[in-house]
Amino acid sequence: MRKMIRYALPSLLIAVGAWTTGGEQLSLQPQSKLWVEGGSSIKSWSCKAEDVDATVEAASAGAVTKTLAGEKAISTVDVIVPTEKMDCGNGTMNDHMRNALKTKDFKTISFKLTSYEVSKSPDGIGGTLNGTLTLGGVKKPIAIPATGMDLGGALRVTGTYNLKMTDYELTPPSLMFGRIKVRDEVTVKFDLVLKS
């Protein structure tokens, strides 16, 4: 029995190793963008994420081609945005936004995919990304409509999602002794390019 285990174990380890490395990791390309748009009592505003970290894994090779064909090829999606790297193009607005996001206590905004639906369309693919958004330390399930298309062999995924800051126990910023108030509802937009 010991001889059998001794000879079978290396074969088993090789098989497990082949299975675990049979997947594929997609990397986020430099042209990828994620930003937030909103309004206030006097004007609209936009803050972009200067740094986005995404872990996107597939169970097997050829994930981009398979996904564009309408197959469920992606197994894991984790997106992390450092709150300190949100840039509104204005130092004062940056300070107010970072305070509103509770940056001192919560360093990141994250999205973790739990499931998704995908279907082929004439222009590419469409579907819904279901997952958990963590913002200001509050976790909530969300469903994001998204579209995908071929971009020179890469997968381009775009979408928008509206949320209320107060749903995540965040207080919208106000300036000038309350004369300028940021609206509660904001729109998160993303244009991500993934490549094998």
pTM: 0.83
CB 58 within 8 A of CB 194: no
Q: What are the residue boundaries of the structural domains of the chain, listed by start? A: 23-195
CA-CA distance, 67 to 119, in Å (whole number)? 9
pLDDT per residue as tens digits for the range 167-179:
999 998 876 545 6
Question: Residues of the chain with pLDDT > 90: what percent?
Answer: 73
CA-CA distance, 189 to 71, in Å (whole number)? 24
CA-CA distance, 20 to 34, in Å (whole number)? 31
Q: Alpha helix locations (H) across the chain?
A: 2-20, 63-68, 91-100
CB 41 within 8 A of CB 190: no
Which DSSP category does 72 fall into?
A: -
- Across 176-186, average pLDDT: 75
**pLDDT at position 20 over 50:** no
Class of domain 23-195: mainly beta
pLDDT per residue as tens digits for the range 70-99:
999 999 999 999 999 999 998 888 998 899
pLDDT on residue 176: 52
